Structure 1
Amino acid sequence: MIGEATNRILKVNATIAISHARRIVDLRNRVILAYDVVDEVIVWSVVVKSLHLLKQEVEHLLSL
């Protein structure tokens, strides 16, 4: 859901202040289209390391 939402936001505003927005969409596409070669350890690592920053950025955008 995060990847799809980010993809839709980028279509409206490609300069949105979300770190690694393009990489979020790319990961979403890989999980959806090439799920048989996705390493769940890598996906979990991305979630653990990056989700907090994304949450902060989205909260900031919503407060504008």
Structure 2
Amino acid sequence: MSKSPVEYLKHISDEIDYLAETTESLSEPDFAKNLTLQKAFVRSLEIIGEAVKNLPEDFKVKYSQVNWKSYAGLRDRLIHHYFGVDYGIVWDVVKNEAPALKEKISKIIEVLRK
């Protein structure tokens, strides 16, 4: 039995929360020196992308305010090109794109729970 869209959205939200909490007092230079966090952040982005890929297509069309394709594509690039990960891009996604995604996901969850 497959999960409901809300469950996948919750996985996305949880990963974004982890990223936000971890970067709260972390600078980009410190991130660039921390291999453990680099790998953890990549894994969180992979989970986000995998959750996106598991959402039904009609759901993604209905909630098109999220660029689902870009997150699924990011996951594919991280998994299949692991030897060439640009951690500057990872940092940028985590700091600049993830908060906006969290806001959109939260609104969608709110609508679905009504």
Q: Which has the larger radius of gyration?
A: 2
TM-score, length-normalised on structure 1? 0.85
Unaligned segments of structure 2, at least 5 residues: 1-46
Cα distance change, pair 18–36 in 1 and its aligned pair in 2 (3 A): farther
Answer yes or no: is 1:59 the counterpart of 2:102. no
**Structure 1 residue ranges (4+ consecutive) displaced by more than 6 angstroms after TM superposition:** none
- Percent identical pairs in the alignment equals 28
- CA distances 1:26-50 after superposition (whole Å, capped 9, x unpaired): 0111101111111011111111111
Aligned residue among 52, 72, 94 for 1:6: 52
Cα RMSD between the aligned structures? Answer: 1.5
Cα distance change, pair 34–10 in 1 and its aligned pair in 2 (3 A): farther
Deviation at 1:19? 2.3
Unaligned segments of structure 1, at least 5 residues: none
Aligned residue among 73, 79, 86 for 1:32: 79
State the one-letter code of the partner of 1:4: E
- The aligned counterpart of 1:45 is 92
Cα distance change, pair 12–4 in 1 and its aligned pair in 2 (3 A): farther
Total equivalences in the alignment: 64
Distance of 2:89 and 2:96 partners within structure 1: 10
Asked whether the equivalents of residues 60 and 68 of structure 2 are also in contact (C-alpha less than 8 Å), the reply is no
